[in-house]
Chain A
Amino acid sequence: MLEIRWHSRAGQGAVTGAKGLADVISTTGKEVQAFAFYGSAKRGAAMTAYNRVDDKVIMNHEKYMEPDYVFVIDPALAITTDVTINHKDTTKYIITTHLSTEELIKAQPKLEGKEVYTVDCIVIAQETIGRPIPNTPMLGAFMKVSGMYDIEFFKDSMKRVLAKLPQKIVDANMIAIQRAFDEVK
């Protein structure tokens, strides 16, 4: 079982990102689950979304999770919330920030001793898609860190997931995914 927790603000696309990732993984024969904590959240409120991936049907519906990966797609959340909650020794963190990994750990001591990767998904999304929607670049960074799929296979799969969007936006997303793949450290 692979488990992922997303930290996001409502409106940044964490749910779409989690469902998109689940969709891609499902095509490779694995079982998936993607869900989020809602409530009467307003755009901009801190929220979390989740992925589970396994070889057999996923029957666990508890919301509690000790994640293998934590994705933080809003830079401030790594500082203002505890993104290490319910962690394991092996939990890996991919965090959107303009800071270097060292600077980030200095700013958030809870990340000390953790396996932390950083990438600026906000800037990448703004420069490619034209809007600060950092979900697809985060998935590009995840492909690099996890080695889950070949990046070309992943981009092709995401083209299908995003097919309802205008071609220009799909193309921009592909550049964003590739840039995050290349830039994550």
Chain B
Amino acid sequence: MAFDKMELRDIEVWDGNFAAAQALRQAQVDVVAAYPITPSTPIVEGYAKFKSDNYVEGEFVMVESEHAAMSGCIGAAAAGGRVATATSSQGLALMVETLYQASGMRLPIVLNIVNRALAAPLNVNGDHSDMYLCRDSGWIQFDAFSPQGAYDLNFIAFKVSEDHDIRLPAIINQDGFMTSHTAQGVTTMDDDTAFGFVGTYKPMNDMLDFEHPVTHGVQTEEDWHFEHKARQHSDLMLKVSPKIDEVFADFEKLTGRKYSQVECYDMEDADVAVFCLGTSVETAREVATEMRAKGVKAGVVGLRVIRPFPFERVQEALKDVKAVAILDRSSPNGAPGAMYNEVCAAMYSHESSPLISGYVYGLGGRDLTKAHLVDLYNELETNVKAGKVTTQLQQFIGVRGPKLSFL
């Protein structure tokens, strides 16, 4: 069955959701099994529309829950198809059990997560609570800072995930509403170029290859379970990072757009830095530029690849800065922030380490303003001058009521 190609302008004004939907169309995904949820709904809705308009050849499977959505994706991937879906928040929470199945079965599936707060209280807006929920699920995890990133990282995710040395599913995170519903210029690839980059899907150990029967989803007890999990972890630690570098380099060659696992901006001579995820990275970059005009040597580090955690590259990025703020857009609920902990672990085992303080911000879509970031850089400057962290280690940005700080 033939399908139609779509004429795109070089720059389209797309929001992050539509950028991701277009990427799924251009990658010619075979199966999308989905249960739509705000704010990720337009991704799968967009794919379904492309299918009904004959722009894709795939199957769209309507299911009864997010658990079933990922289960359908697992079945389709095991059968030997290129598979993708999207979800957010409560939907992801219901899907979590199956995330571990997908990665443990070494099935390349691409999942777009449009990051949203977790209830209660119910909230549809963007924070990273759902991102953190699947932190240890064994998936490769990318983070987009803008609609352009949401578009580009989908192609990159397919290419890394489907590589026969990798065969691990991949998540692309984008900020709910701040990216997913914010329209910006997105530089596109034409259909042939985009599909040429990801290439025709080559399945491995697929169940529909009747010449070579295989079993998926087996039980292993104490005899083999540990070996399987250890091998999966080992591949994440050793194989994925070089593959991502290779695919980033190929992508840059094709499009001129350069991605790095740890994105450093104005860090060469920075005294103070903000370390964060999502759209906050870009807002912080703008503020850092303005701080530099005022004589503050400010920089920004954005984490592009969350898993595998680029431990050595984080060390490299932060080893010469004097003070850094680690921003967590998720309530740690009784601990330091998860990102704060991970960065501290990296820097503790490095010979030089900056003064590190942690900040919880932006829960439930609460705005992170430029004024907040100016105050933050100024606080880091104070720490540099004092030669120590002058505040408590964990603070809150932008929450009403008496100032909250801990540790």
Contact = CB atoms under 8 A, between A and B. Distances in A.
Asked if A and B bind, the verdict is yes
Interface of A: 18-19, 22-23, 26-27, 31-36, 38-40, 57-64
Contacts of A57: 185
B13 A59 contact: no
Residue of A33, A60, A62 contacting most chain B CB atoms (<10 Å): A62
Interface stretch (B291-299, B315-323, B366-374): B366-374
A64 to B, nearest CB: 5
Given A62-B368, A64-B371, 9 more contacts: A18-B183, A19-B183, A27-B9, A33-B184, A34-B184, A35-B177, A61-B368, A62-B283, A62-B369
B285 interface: yes
B65 interface: no
B178 interface: yes
A164 to B, nearest CB: 11
Nearest to A57: B185
Contact of A22 (B175, B183, B282): B183
Given A19-B13, A22-B13, A35-B177, A61 B279 contact: yes
Interface residues of B, number: 27
Contacts of A26: 11, 13, 185
B286 interface: yes
Nearest to A23: B13
A38 B364 CA distance: 12
A64 B124 contact: no
A59 B286 contact: yes
Contacts of B183: 18-19, 22-23, 32-35
B375 to A, nearest CB: 13
B18 to A, nearest CB: 10
Contacts of A34: 13, 182-184
A23 B11 CA distance: 10
Contacts of A59: 282-283, 285-286
A75 to B, nearest CB: 26
Given A35-B181, A35-B183, A58-B184, A63 B283 contact: no
A38 B181 CA distance: 9
Nearest to B373: A62
